[in-house]
Amino acid sequence: MSRMLKNKTLAAWLAFLGGPLGLHRFYLHGLGDVLGWLLPIPTALGLYGIERVLQYGVDDGWSWVLIPLLGFNIAACALTAIVYGLSSPEKWNARHNPQAPADAPAGRTGWFTIGAVVCALLIGTTALMSSIAFSFQRYFEYQIEEARKISQ
């Protein structure tokens, strides 16, 4: 019985849509993949940060730390989807389908693969830039508040 071939397009979409839950890792490496089990942790912490903002308001210090974790995790998984989608069929099959020929259909790039790359680029960039902007805004607001305390 031969192993099923790992499809590059499916892996790219799983990394984009379910990456923060580790779905792409489980698809490619099985349920024993440690990183696949660790990926939901920053996702859950970021969602908890959003819950804290809704509960305590935007001045909650913990939410400043937790929310960017979600954004950076989404951006990292989007980058993973881009890397998967742009890998050559030969590299993909050599890494994930070593028993298959180098030009096996599972590693080929089609329009659905390109769609995953484009979506990951749009959403990943947005998540990354939003997380950076949120982090810096909160940091500078904190610095201004501390400066006001010192000057009084």
The domain in which residue 134 lies consists of: 9-151
Q: Quick check: is 4 in a domain?
A: no
DSSP string, 18-64: HGGGTHHHHHHH-TT-HHHHHTHHHHHHHHHHHHHHHHH-TT-HHHH
Instruction: Count up the domains in the chain and report the number.
Output: 1
Q: Quick check: is 22 in a domain?
A: yes
What pLDDT does residue 74 have? 96
Q: Quick check: is 115 in a domain?
A: yes
Angle, CA of 30, 76 and 107, to the nearest 5°: 50
What does the alpha-carbon distance between residue 27 and residue 1 come to, in Å, rounded to a whole number? 19
Q: Is 71:20 a contact under the CB 8 Å cutoff?
A: no
Q: Quick check: is 52 in a domain?
A: yes
What pLDDT does residue 51 have? 95
Nearest to 84 by CA among 4, 33, 25: 25
pLDDT, mean over the chain: 92
What does the alpha-carbon distance between residue 43 and residue 88 come to, in Å, rounded to a whole number? 30
What pLDDT does residue 142 have? 84
Q: Quick check: is 3 in a domain?
A: no
What digits encode the pLDDT tens for the residues 139-150?
888 888 888 888
pTM, two decimal places: 0.86
What is the distance between the terminal CA atoms of the chain, rounded to a whole angstrom? 76
- pLDDT < 50 stretches in the chain: 1-2
Contacts of 90 (CB under 8 A, 6+ apart): 102, 103, 107
Angle, CA of 113, 21 and 57, to the nearest 5°: 115
What pLDDT does residue 87 have? 94
Q: Quick check: is 1 in a domain?
A: no
